[in-house]
Structure 1
Amino acid sequence: MNKPAVRDAALLVFRALLGVIFVAHGVDKMFFTGIDATAALFGQWGIIQPTLSAWLTAIIEMVCGALLVVGLLTTAAAGVLAVVMALAGYFVHLSQGLFATDGGFEYPLVLVGSLLMIVVFGAGRASLDGVLSRVEA
């Protein structure tokens, strides 16, 4: 299992799945739930500047999620998303306990851990980062 092709395939699947999850959440905030409703929810949770925070969160989730899917600027995108999810875990989910079924911090914790794996191991060769690094060499 410790073959570069297997590692790169696993990283491709891993970051693509994470990226799709974040794009879906950003699209939901922006278009389905709507920014106004998302901002109202952020306000109920006590998040400062709820409208600005809703816009920033939705845009960051969509853009950085898409960057994860294609593997461009991958470690930076994963790092930004990890910070956003850590903040969400702290400000929203921590007071709800552990389990996701109760709104707890279980889900953001798994996402932060997953994103940190991408930060540490990178995008792999099956990514635009991998292609661009080979072109420069």
Structure 2
Amino acid sequence: MANSAHIAHPTTTEQNRSDVTQASASLIGRVLLSVIFILSGFSKLAAPAMMIGYIGSVGLPFPQLALALAVVVEIAGGLALILGFRARAVASVLALFSVFTALAFHSALADQNQFIHFFKNIAMAGGLLQVVAFGAGRFSLDARRR
């Protein structure tokens, strides 16, 4: 009679492979989510006067302060998300930021370009909420702190 302990249970090797795959997918997902924030933050630094004008054109108060805040959120938040540092809190902030910017800057949904940007931001918020729900994964600073 065969040992039934191995039947219907993944082997340790299979489980380890699955764990590494999941941790790798989590890291790659965080990197891909972060890239747009980091690039956007640096592009704002490259053309601050234009961005201040754009922020002011949508009626937000204190456009210089809003620009500085956006740059910090995008660059610091993007880097923290890649590293998996306080990933759930960072992903929450970035998700709220994405929804806010969709509503403030891309709400002219009759314009096809704005329609695409609006729903891109909403989709990014959805991806970030996955990080909020499931954490940063094994390949993160959060996992090292436990």
TM-score class, shorter-chain normalisation, is 0.7 to 0.9
Q: Which runs of 4+ in 1 moved over 4 A?
A: none
Whether 1:36 aligns to 2:49 is yes
Q: Secondary structure at the match of 1:94?
A: coil
Tell me the CA shift for residue 97 of structure 1.
Answer: 4.2
Alignment match of 2:144 (pick from 109, 126, 131): 131
The answer for the alignment partner of 2:66 in structure 1 is 53
The answer to whether the aligner puts 1:89 opposite 2:108 as a matched pair is no
Q: Where do 5+ consecutive residues of structure 1 fail to align?
A: none
Percent of pairs with identical residues: 29
- Answering whether residue 36 of structure 2 is matched by residue 18 of structure 1, we say no
Q: Which moved more, 1:120-129 or 1:44-53?
A: 44-53
Please, which of 11, 16, 22 is the counterpart of residue 7 of structure 1? 22
AA partner of residue 27 (structure 1) = F
Q: State the TM-score, normalizing by the size of structure 2.
A: 0.81
Distance in 2 (alpha carbons) for counterparts of 1:67 and 1:97: 35
2:114 alignment partner in structure 1: 103
Change (3 A) 1:128 1:97: farther
Contact 1:72 1:129 in 2 (8 A): yes
**1:85-122 deviation per Cα after TM superposition (whole angstroms, max 9, x unaligned):** 111011111223485xx122111111111111111111
Aligned length, in residue pairs: 129
Whole-Å separation in 2 of the counterparts to 1:110 and 1:97: 19
Amino acid at match of 1:23: I
Query: 2:28 and 2:111 mapped to 1: Cα distance?
Result: 27
TM-score using structure 1 length = 0.86
Are the aligned partners of 1:98 and 1:106 in contact in 2 as well (CA < 8 Å)?
no
